[in-house]
Chains A and B, each alone.
Chain A
Amino acid sequence: MIVKDAVCPFCGCLCDDIEVEVEVESGRVVGVTNACDLGATKFLGGERLKTPIRREGKTWKEISYDEAIRYAAEMLLDAERPLLYGWSGTHGEAQCVGVHMAELVRGVIDNTSSVCHGPSVLAIQEVGHPGCTLGVVKNRADVVIYWGSNPIDAHPRHLSRYTCYAEGFFLENSFRDRKVIVVDVRKTRTANIADEFVMVRPGGDYAVLSALRAIVRGKTDTIPPTVAGVTRDQLIRVADLCLNAKFGAVYFGLGLTMIPGKNKNVRNAIELVTELNRHTKFTISAMRGHYNVYGSNEVNTWMTGYPFAIDFSRGIAFYNPGETTAVDILARKECDAALIVGSDPAAHFPRKCIEHLAEIPVVQLDPYPNATTAFCSVQIPVAVTGVDAEGTAYRMDGVPIRTKKVVSSDYLSDEDVLTRMYVLMQEALKR
């Protein structure tokens, strides 16, 4: 059986043209067409955890869903300052339950954007977001800039669906007419296909952005011979390409958010785009990583007013990145229990944070054993959204797309497990 137009639950591109071949007898995915390597591997799946597991001393014991869900609910109820973290690897409906749950136990809920595009969100809160959907870029953009992002490795189909290799309705020959500029500290594989590659000295992005802003403002004579390793001539050439564009689009990655300056780098990039909009049309957007990390920001914002790092300990939503973000809370050894959903902080957080995870009860909802499993008191396997569970995810440009269930399984979805936990918690608090 072929399932057409399946939605890929890997990266923020959320490609919705995937064909998945399912073997009817076994109910397994046996073939994937149109997806990149990352997406195909996700559909084909790996060795999943079969039942919930509980750590007992130095061994693991298989337990029932009922027992695991009861443990998770009691852990959150007993905690003084629980942390509910992750959320980008699950669907919006599950994220909704998570927010309700965090409010109920007066916990802190944070999502993985705090360690990817959290600084971008901070910049957007300062100066706004002149963005647009991917379809607009595909059909109109004649200049595309990838700044501190490497889509060939991280978002492999971004180029073929929306930029370099995509047909554009308003471009006669989009492959020839569309100029691609890559700005990076490494000569990545994406840099190799650029019409103009700008190699910046590490940490120099802010200065290069400022220099481009100055040139766009007509202050070219203030630019020194080189700025963070970039020659004045190249800066002028890049600024000219941008100024002569009919429609330009900047896509920036973690190369701006994970270096010193963080949100201020992104702010400078947004302000460069604002300058360019005095002359032509230009947009800027973040290359969001997980398939529904944008959704975690959306859901949190429309439910609490804040996109991530929300602390309910005061009985109201309180937001202070740097204080209420997961890395900071763990590094300060502040939380006394953690619920992890759809992410793997033990693989992606600094060591100090993981050392604290080893000292507190941890429950994780994840289909696969991962690095965080090693710190779990209980892990509950769940269905994979987009494979054996359906739900809403937000693409990197903010477009919500309903992921499909392409196979059936006995696994509960994140939403099912969280709802059962939430009901138990409500009942316990009524008593």
Chain B
Amino acid sequence: MKFLMNTGRTVNQGVTVENKGSAEYAREASTCFMHGFDMLELGVDDGDPVLVRGPAGEVVMRAEASVEVEIGTVFVPYGPYANHILAADTRSTGMPDFKSHEVEIEPTDEEPKSVYGLMEDLGGLAYDR
């Protein structure tokens, strides 16, 4: 199913932002907040993994119902999961379209990767000490 993905700040994202290697940060930044009806249609429950595909690639997140989100849209806290699939085009402003990307979402059996797992996919090296 197609959705419009919005990203933004949440308190939990802000509280864990200085500890990006933590499970709490990864959990928050990989949460895909959705409307309950859309989740019904997709056949996913709270905490189920979903594959989110955007213009730059795909990433696994976990779905969570939210009363703040409208049907047809999803909200993902700022962070490496949403950015993994966003296009870098800035339309000559310096600013990518962080809050308005069309994405495709489907249920999956895969688990979300860790933040360093995502970074290693892009050529980085985990620092886990």
Contacts and interface: CB of A to CB of B under 8 A. Distances in A.
Interface in A365-393: 367-371, 373-375, 379
Contacts of A401: none
Contacts of B96: 115, 258, 327, 350
Interface in B65-115: 67-70, 73, 75, 78-80, 83-100, 115
Residue of B85, B116, B129 ringed by the most chain A CB atoms within 10 A: B129
Interface stretch (A20-28, A211-219, A352-360): A352-360
Interface string A104-119: 0000001000110011
A58 B128 CA distance: 12
Interface string A313-331: 0000000011101111011
Given A350-B83, A369-B127, A375-B119, A115 B95 contact: yes
B93 A321 contact: yes
What's the interface size class on A, roughly? 35 or more
Question: Is the contact region of chain B dominated by helix, strand, or loop, or is it mixed?
Answer: loop
B123 A327 contact: no
- Of listed A11, A46, A323, residue having the most chain B CB within 10 A: A46
Given A114-B94, A263-B93, A368 B99 contact: no
B40 interface: no
Contact of A259 (B67, B97, B126): B97
Given A258-B98, A350-B88, A46 B93 contact: no
A369 B20 contact: yes
A257 B95 contact: yes
A260 interface: yes
Contact of A150 (B9, B120, B124, B127): B9
Given A187-B68, A325-B94, A358-B124, A37 B99 contact: no
Contacts of A346: 80, 119, 124
B125 A41 contact: no
Nearest to A379: B127
Given A122-B93, A203-B100, A187 B67 contact: yes
Contacts of B47: none
Nearest to B129: A60
A328 to B, nearest CB: 6
B129 A374 contact: no
Contact of B14 (A53, A153, A258): A153
B92 to A, nearest CB: 3
A202 interface: yes
A38 B13 CA distance: 9
Nearest to A191: B68
Given A347-B79, A351-B83, A351-B88, A374 B93 contact: no
A371 B115 contact: yes
A327 B83 contact: no
B99 A156 contact: no
Contact of A351 (B10, B11, B67, B84): B84
Contact of A185 (B16, B18, B70, B79): B70
Please indicate which of the listed interface residues B70, B126, B127 has the most CB atoms of chain A within 10 Å of its own CB.
Answer: B127
Contacts of B98: 115, 254, 258
B115 A368 contact: no
Contacts of A152: 11
A259 B100 contact: yes
A368 B123 contact: no
A349 B95 contact: no
Interface in B1-33: 4, 6-11, 14-16, 18-21, 29
Interface in A331-358: 331, 344, 346-355, 357-358
A251 to B, nearest CB: 14
A133 to B, nearest CB: 23
Nearest to A118: B94
A10 interface: yes
A257 B68 CA distance: 20
Given A156-B11, A327-B95, A371 B68 contact: no
Given A254-B98, A352-B87, 8 more contacts: A185-B6, A309-B94, A322-B90, A348-B78, A351-B85, A371-B119, A374-B125, A379-B127
Interface of A: 10-11, 37-38, 41-42, 45-47, 53, 55, 58, 60, 110, 114-115, 118-119, 122, 150, 152-154, 156, 185-189, 199, 202-203, 254-255, 257-260, 262-263, 289, 308-309, 321-323, 325-328, 330-331, 344, 346-355, 357-359, 367-371, 373-375, 379
Interface of B: 4, 6-11, 14-16, 18-21, 29, 56-57, 67-70, 73, 75, 78-80, 83-100, 115-116, 119-120, 122-127, 129
The 10 closest A-B pairs by CB, nearest first: A325-B94, A374-B124, A358-B123, A322-B92, A374-B119, A331-B88, A154-B9, A258-B99, A350-B88, A352-B88
15 contacts: A10-B14, A37-B14, A41-B14, A114-B94, A119-B94, A257-B95, A321-B93, A326-B94, A327-B88, A331-B88, A347-B115, A350-B88, A370-B21, A374-B116, A374-B120
